[in-house]
Amino acid sequence: MAKKTQTYYTVEEFCNNVNWSEATKKNYKYALLNYARFLFPDLDSNRHHPEAALAALNKRVRYKADPAKDISAYANFMKGKPPKTIGLYLTAVRSFYGLNGHVFNKQELKRIIPKTGDAETKQGDLTTEILRKMVGAADIRGRVLIMLLASTACRIGELCDVTLDDVDMNRNPPSIYLKKEYTKNGRARTVFMTDECREAVLIWLGGERMKYLTASYERNEGLNDKFRDKNRLPPKEDRRLLGISTYGARNIWYNTLSRVMDKDKLKPDEKTHIHPLTPHVVRKWWRVTANQGFRNEDIAHLIMGHWNNALDFVYAKMGDDGIGKEFLKAQSALSLLTSESTKELHQNIGRQADKLLSLERENNALKIQIKSTETLIEAMERRQRILAEKVDKREDKAHLIADGLKDLSDDQIHRLLTAIGKIKPDSSPAYGPAPWEED
């Protein structure tokens, strides 16, 4: 009987399981990439170009007979991380090896599943005042990001996946439809914006978004191949609402937070090394704050994406329109800006708009000046070429005349000059004997 040939799967093939949600595929791929970087730290790889590390892992899974030692070392390397993170990463790695024919016995499983301990990050207290200060300290893109997080209770990864087609600004309240591909539990839902969030989003969509996308795209194109994101779409083709990745959104969050809080209060947890005020903490703030306006706390669970059979019944009864009406009752509690801060925000936006308009005018004036200079230079170059051509023609004509005069006698030259009016008919020839030949 012929021996069955082992089929090997790459990381890409492993992560394209049709039964998994997009979130699971993304998490498993990141877990395997993290494992590959642990195994091959010397490979030149970054978040935009993971090909080298993943290719090395694909090769190793084919020829490494005993991966248990690698996984055990990886588990020890992750000690101190949150238990759920360790569990997710090790599950992804074991599943990948299992699909490629590696079966772990009980002894190996004990060795590669270490005790994770009770590591837990102590989260800080996020208040409305902190969020208000962050809105005031951020630029327009950061302001829209923070206000959307505080208004919709979205996870930051869900928000970064939202496209322009998912946003309905004509609805009351304005809504965002989160497709099942965006969400953690694989179920679609609708979230809503407060009035102040709506205003910020309209300013963003009014022209600021395209400016940021264009600047980001040009910066990316200016990078070398090692760091350039080859999957970045041109600004007009990028349909994302915010136009940033989850990585970029987190950076905006932490950078803005560092401007409004003391560094001592923002130190990462000593065990897990996780920031005390991650963007996810906004969901907890939203949960507590929104309940001040909802008459039924199930509505908060529905908007946040929590789901069970009882919530299914509530959603079927109310629908998105009914939930939106309830949201309007809670939006005053979720508002970050007071009347004074709203006025100040509009004043800041107005000043920034005036400054941008002034810079745009200066830029247009410089463009006109540069264009005029270029036109003048072109005219001067054209005139120089014409003059050079005329000089060349005259030199050629002079050479032809000189060559023709060589064969003429003095009398013929005299008659020729008389005919063209250079000398008078009765004048004697311009030539004569040399002074030393005279008597």
Q: How far apart are the first and last CA of the chain?
A: 133
pLDDT of residue 5: 55
CA distances from 79 to 71, 96, 115, 216, 278 (A): 13, 21, 9, 37, 21
- Nearest-angstrom CA–CA distance, 439 and 434: 11
240-270 pLDDT per residue, tens: 999 998 889 999 999 999 999 888 777 776 6
Residue 147 near residue 153, CB atoms below 8 Å = no
- Nearest-angstrom CA–CA distance, 241 and 76: 40
Confidence of residue 145 (pLDDT cuts 50, 70, 90): very high
- Nearest-angstrom CA–CA distance, 400 and 398: 5
Q: What mean pLDDT, rounded, does the chain reach? A: 80
pLDDT of residue 339: 54
DSSP 3-state of 332:
helix
- Nearest-angstrom CA–CA distance, 189 and 305: 7
Confidence of residue 2 (pLDDT cuts 50, 70, 90): very low
Whether the pLDDT of residue 13 is over 70: the answer is: yes
**Across 28-37, 131-140, 307-316, least confident range:** 307-316
Confidence of residue 119 (pLDDT cuts 50, 70, 90): low
Whether the pLDDT of residue 117 is over 70: the answer is: no
- Nearest-angstrom CA–CA distance, 258 and 435: 102
Percent of the chain with pLDDT over 90: 24
Identify the H or E element spanning 301.
helix 297-304
Report which of 127, 126, 146 is spatially closest to residue 194, judged by C-alpha positions.
Answer: 146
The DSSP annotation for 405-431 comes to HTTS-HHHHHHHHHHTTSS-TTSPPS-
325-379 pLDDT per residue, tens: 889 888 888 888 865 555 455 556 556 666 777 777 788 888 888 888 888 888 8
Confidence of residue 434 (pLDDT cuts 50, 70, 90): very low
Confidence of residue 67 (pLDDT cuts 50, 70, 90): confident
Q: Assign domain 128-337 to a CATH class.
A: mainly alpha
Report which of 411, 408, 437 is spatially closest to residue 423, judged by C-alpha positions.
Answer: 411
Identify the H or E element spanning 60.
helix 51-63
291: phi then psi, degrees, rounded to nearest 5 = -65, -15
- Nearest-angstrom CA–CA distance, 394 and 188: 83
Residue 50 near residue 38, CB atoms below 8 Å = no
Give the highest mean pLDDT range of 16-25, 66-75, 353-362, 418-427: 66-75
Higher model confidence: residue 269 or residue 73?
Answer: 73
pLDDT of residue 353: 61
DSSP 190: E
Amino acid at 262: D
Structure tokens at 405: 């005069």
Report which of 204, 202, 200, 192 is spatially closest to residue 331, judged by C-alpha positions.
Answer: 192
187: Cβ contacts below 8 Å, ≥ 6 apart: 180, 305, 307
Query: Whole-model pTM?
Result: 0.64
Higher model confidence: residue 168 or residue 358?
Answer: 168
Whether the pLDDT of residue 187 is over 90: the answer is: no
Confidence of residue 300 (pLDDT cuts 50, 70, 90): confident
Percent of the chain with pLDDT over 70: 79
At how many degrees (to 10) do helices 140-152 and 195-203 cross?
Answer: 150
Q: Please give the average per-residue pLDDT across 169-196, as a whole number.
A: 91
Give the highest mean pLDDT range of 45-49, 53-57, 85-89, 188-192: 188-192
Measured from the Cβ of residue 410, the count of other Cβ atoms closer than 10 Å reads 11
Burial class of residue 215, CB neighbours in 10 A (0-12, 13-18, 19+): exposed
At how many degrees (to 10) do helices 297-304 and 309-334 cross?
Answer: 100
32: Cβ contacts below 8 Å, ≥ 6 apart: 11, 14, 15, 54, 57, 92, 93, 96
Domain residue limits, the chain: 11-112, 128-337, 356-406, 408-439
Amino acid at 41: P
